[in-house]
Chains A and B, each alone.
Chain A
Amino acid sequence: MSPKINLDHIYCQSPDVVSREIEGTIVIIPITAGIGDLENELFSLNDTGKVLWHKLDGTRTLKEIVIELEDQFQSLPEIIEKDVVGLLTELLKRQLILDKSEG
Chain B
Amino acid sequence: MLSNIHSGELRLDKDALMTLADAVLLRDVPFRIQAKGGSMSPVIRNGDVITISPLAGCKAVCGDVLAFVNRLNNSLLVHRVIRIKGDDYFFRGDNSSGTVEVAAADQILGRLTGVERNGKAVHFGLGPERILIGFLNRSGGFSLMIKSARKVFQLLQRRIR
Contact = CB atoms under 8 A, between A and B. Distances in A.
Given A22-B12, A35-B29, A36-B32, A42 B24 contact: no
Contacts of A18: 20, 23-24, 26-27
B-side interface mostly: mixed
Contacts of B34: 39
B118 to A, nearest CB: 14
Contacts of B26: 18
Interface size of B as a range:
20 to 34
B160 interface: no
Interface size of A as a range:
20 to 34
The 8 tightest CB contacts between A and B, nearest first, are A36-B24, A42-B5, A49-B1, A36-B31, A38-B33, A22-B16, A90-B2, A87-B1
B1 A38 contact: no
B4 A37 contact: no
B8 interface: yes
Interface string B1-22: 1111110101010001101110
A44 B3 CA distance: 5
Contact of B1 (A29, A35, A41, A45): A45
A75 to B, nearest CB: 14
A23 B16 CA distance: 9
Interface in A1-60: 18-20, 22-23, 25, 27, 29, 31, 34-46, 48-49
